[in-house]
Structure 1
Amino acid sequence: MTSFHAAIVHPDRSTTYCGEVDEAHVATARAIAVLDHTPRFVREHRNRPGSLFVLRDDGDLDVYEPVGVEAAPHTPHTPTGTGTGTGTGTGEAVLPATAELLSGASGTVWIPGAIRIGDGSIGGAMDTPGNPPRVTLHTTESPAGGRYLESLSSYLIEVSSEPQLVYCPVTDRVAQLGPLDESARALRNDGQRRTNREGKVNIQIEVLAYAKDPWTTGWDPAQKPGWGSVLAAARSWGVPDEFPAGPPAPYPGPDKPRSRSVWQNSGGYFGHCDVPGNDHGDPGALDTSKVLGGAGGGGAPPAAGDAFPGADRFGPGAVNEYVTRLGRMLVSRGGGRFYRVGPGPEWGAADGRATEAFQHAQGWTGSDADGIPGPTTWELLVTGRGNDIPDAADTGTPRISVAHLVAAAEADIPAPDGHTTHADEVRVVEDALVAEGLLDARYADGSYGTRTRDAYAAWQRSAAGGSYTGRAADGIPGLSSLQRLAARHGFTATP
């Protein structure tokens, strides 16, 4: 039976080696990742058969590699970024707005505000610097939102297929893996011609999206300063605001001609589907006007109209484009924490919670804040008016102490049924476990008894990362697993 090295690559590229696991463990990891309610996504290693990656929306990347493969994935990696800005999470380095950003008078090398992931060494000098500058657009064929930006970037580094940039259209966050004046590694060669090194620059961007569902649909560049910074960087190198090979083709569909003459001699924006020597069909039928920062109308399906479509378009059972647009507008107004994956056409609990949070942010209560958008909610969202959803720390959301939960478990488990300690905090955690499908609702009574302990142990083994096993999955909360539960259910975890 094959054994696997198991490791976790964290957003700062540090690595925790978890030891060896068996095939049954890896099969369980695969099975958990395909469940609808788990924020995970499986990718195979492109060059090492049997090696597996599990992308997680908390930014971690789980790695499983068969024992005996030339390099086990457990060598710690120390990032070399020296950013001095404020990151958006532990271990992130935001690039400083200093002289480092420019290379002479040529153009932007490191984008201000982008999150540096990795050590910045991904390619080398361009082969044809006298040829026109260009941008090449890819899609990751993965979910967006959460912190998939970090886990997907780590995956691309692990498989040596890095672009310079990774962009999340849901959160508008930009990760930078390498300098813009050097090559990336996300394209195949065209015979002896190294397509990654074509042009004055070839800024490759992996967008967290699926080619079959173009990421520009319902996406407003006017509300996306992160994408604006990408456009500004491309323009600083003289990349023209045009698609010389025409708009990317719909996916799936027939391949477009991949003209060597256009690719080598024209500057502007290309899809992966336009590059000679490659066979991928991404990024799909993008609205090219929106990509370039305009108001839209470049051939992709239009966003839903601004008029309120009616309350019957929302709520349990609703499946339509208005639900998608609602979710994307809520994310842009601070509601991203409610979504485990990017908003979609099927109404879910995340849509209701985010809508309710937006309504509460306007000072509404009662039936005016029921989690279902009405005409006023819709108008505020489409016009960009009203108050944004505040951060969880500013909302008065419940603050749940790990120390209190541990004390509750120690006191309640050996006591008679119904004994409670810190019952209000325990009940918040129990309600979250009920929502995860791990605890029967009748046992959410504020007592940290054996059923609550067993439900929390199931959380530690599955949705909390899957890396908790044995004594680490004992059903007694730690800060890390509680923070992950809190992020999904609207409370704040404290020591």
Structure 2
Amino acid sequence: MGEIWIKEAERLGDGSVGGAMDSPSAPGRVVWHTTESGHGDANFKNVGDYLRTVASEPHILYDPTTDRLGQYGPLNQSARALKNDGITRTNRTGKVCIQIEVLAKASNPFTGYWKPGPNFKALMRAIRSWGVPDTFPMGTPAATSSTTKRNRTTWATKGGHYGHCNVPGNDHWDPGAISTAALFKAAPVTPAGGGSTSTPSASTYTVKAGDTLSSIGTKTGVKWETLASLNSLKSPYTIKVGQVLKLKASTTTKPATKPSVSVAHLNAARAKDIPAATGHTTYAAEVKVVEAALKAEGHLDAKYASDGSWGTTTDAAYEAFRRAHGYKGDEAKGAVGLESLKILASRHAFTAKA
């Protein structure tokens, strides 16, 4: 049994939302939604009240800019934010189906500008207490309404995190292309007693009453998926008291440094390279990072993706990227803006700065 009420969260409503889960033996999962609204305290109240009025309450309402956290109902019961998939009640799938509405818009992924704090860590602590793994079984949530993935088998059988865009029977594409890595990095798992999660403190662990693979991972510093792999466990990864799990120390490697791209440098390159002779470069290294990302997004042909020159083709590709993420008219044209660059950076392992 995991956390039912998050002690750090404000109580929203009367605490009664849904009911018992239909498939409590299935793995637990989380569904991320966006409210398609602004953020801040006024929106927190107005949207929060609206969700109650239309009987579409999630479990959680979260403001990514203030770290404000509210909870409508107990995590071990269903919420009301999903449509059914025929006769399948998607709100009641799994031992838990924790639904989170984030005060944000899908077209501007909140991980590009958010300010997660202790309340977000508390939310992730509660999620992990139910054994929900730090994975997205259907991959990074959809970047557009036309790129959604809704696999019924995956949804029914795989525990982890999902976007609203992944739930069968639903037609929304939120929460947008959030950075899944940033989501988990903002709330790192710390073993009991502190220390690093990179190396287990022992070569074996004996399962105790009340243990889950997630809690064992927290105690030993080994991710639950690794525990399952090392012991040849099969889904749903059953364990029993007294079972001895063989652990394997992992090596700690220094994470690769993400390249940094400056908006000022890109705009300087844009101003100089476009009117210059073909192939002229200014801040080529940073332009190449953006070109590679635009290629991966499908907006820039491979033959232009590594020359480091911000010519008319690269400029048109960046404009196409902005249109694909909700920018319209003049907003999609002209100089590179920090907001749009952060969206691209969140999807392609670089950092954006002014």
8 A contact 1:137–1:205 mirrored in 2 = yes
TM-aligned CA distance change 1:307 to 1:226, over 3 Å: farther
Supply the distance in 1 between the matched residues of 2:38 and 2:92 (Cα, whole angstroms): 29
Q: 1:248-299 CA distances to partner (integer Å, 9 max, x unpaired)?
A: 0102x41423111000000000001100111111111110111223599xxx
* Structure 2 counterparts to residues 111-130 of structure 1, below 5 A: 111-130=6-25
SS of residue matched to 1:254: helix
> Residues 387-426 of structure 1: matches in 2 within 5 Å?
none
Q: Where does residue 136 of structure 1 map in the other structure? A: 31
Task: Decide whether the 8 Å contact of 2:39 with 2:65 is kept in 1.
Answer: yes
The equivalent position to 2:74 in structure 1, one of 179, 185, 196, is 179
Q: CA deviation at 1:320?
A: 2.7
Q: Could you tell me whether the CA contact under 8 Å between 2:121 and 2:186 is conserved in 1? A: no
Matched residue SS, 1:178 = coil
Asked whether the 8 Å contact 1:289–1:295 carries over to 2, the reply is no
Q: Which amino acid aligns with 1:272?
A: H
CA spacing shift, 1:278–1:147, aligned 2, 3 Å: same
Q: Can you list the C-alpha shifts for 1:219-261, whole angstroms capped at 9, x where unaligned?
A: 354xx2221111110000110000001110102x414231110
The structure with the largest alpha-carbon Rg is 1
Question: Aligned match of 2:142 in 230, 249, 264?
Answer: 249
Provide closer, same or farther for how the CA distance between residues 306 and 230 of structure 1 changes in structure 2, counting only shifts above 3 A: farther
CA distance in 2, matches of 1:125, 1:322: 42
| 2:337 counterpart (287, 295, 320) | 320
Deviation of 1:138 (Å): 0.5
What secondary structure is seen at the aligned counterpart in 2 of 1:166? strand
Amino acid at match of 1:230: L
| Structure 1 residue aligned with 2:317 | none
Indicate yes or no: 2:43 matched with 1:148. yes
Q: What's 2:167 paired with?
A: 275
Q: Which runs of 4+ in 1 moved over 6 A?
A: 322-325
Distance verdict in 2 for CA 1:256–1:308, change over 3 Å: closer
Please state whether the residue corresponding to 2:182 is helix, strand or coil.
helix
Instruction: Give the count of matched residue pairs.
Output: 208
Q: Counterparts of 1:321-340 in structure 2 under 5 Å?
A: 321=338
Give the structure-2-normalised TM-score: 0.54
Q: Which has the higher contact order (CA 8 A, sep 6+)?
A: 2
Matches within 5 A, 1:54-73: none
Q: 1:124 and 1:181 mapped to 2: Cα distance?
A: 9
Per-residue Cα deviation, 1:349-390 (whole angstroms, up to 9, x for no partner):
xxxxxxxxxxxxxxxxxxxxxxxxxxxxxxxxx9xxxxxxxx
Query: Structure 1's 267 and 323: CA in aligned 2 closer, same or farther, altered over 3 A?
Result: closer
C-alpha contact (below 8 Å) 2:263/2:338 kept by paired residues = no
Query: 1:119 is aligned with what amino acid?
Result: D
Match of 2:154 among 259, 262, 281: 262
Kindly provide the CA deviation profile for residues 395-429 of structure 1, in whole angstroms up to 9, marking residues without a partner as x: xxxxxxxxxxxxxxxxxxxxxxxxxxxxxxxxxxx
Q: Distance in 1 between matches of 2:103 and 2:138?
A: 23
The one-letter code matched in structure 2 to 1:286 is I
Contact 2:121 2:187 in 1 (8 A): no
Change (3 A) 1:204 1:308: same
- Whole-Å separation in 2 of the counterparts to 1:188 and 1:215: 24
* Aligned twin of 1:108: 3
User: Is contact 1:272–1:280 with CA below 8 Å preserved after alignment?
Assistant: yes
Task: Supply the distance in 2 between the matched residues of 1:324 and 1:118 (Cα, whole angstroms).
Answer: 38
Structure 1 residue runs without a partner (length 5+): 1-105, 297-302, 326-381, 383-495
Question: Percent of pairs identical after alignment?
Answer: 49
Over aligned residues, Cα RMSD in angstroms? 3.0
Shift of 1:178: 0.7
CA distance in 2, matches of 1:322, 1:188: 32
Q: 1:218 to 1:265 in 2, by over 3 A?
A: same
Contact kept? 2:60, 2:71, Cα under 8 Å: yes
Residue 50 of structure 1 corresponds to none
Partner Cα distance (1:179, 1:294) in 2 = 24
* Equivalent position to 2:182, from 277, 290, 297: 290
SS in 1 for 2:185: coil
**Is 1:218–1:304's contact at 8 Å kept on the other side of the alignment?**
no
Normalized against structure 1, the TM-score is what?
A: 0.39
The answer (yes or no) to whether the contact 1:220–1:290 under 8 Å persists in 2 is: no
**Deviation of the 1:218 alpha carbon:** 3.0
Q: 1:316-395 counterparts in 2 under 5 A?
A: 320-321=337-338
CA distance in 1, matches of 2:55, 2:338: 36
**Shift in alpha-carbon separation, 1:269–1:248, aligned structure 2, 3 A:** same
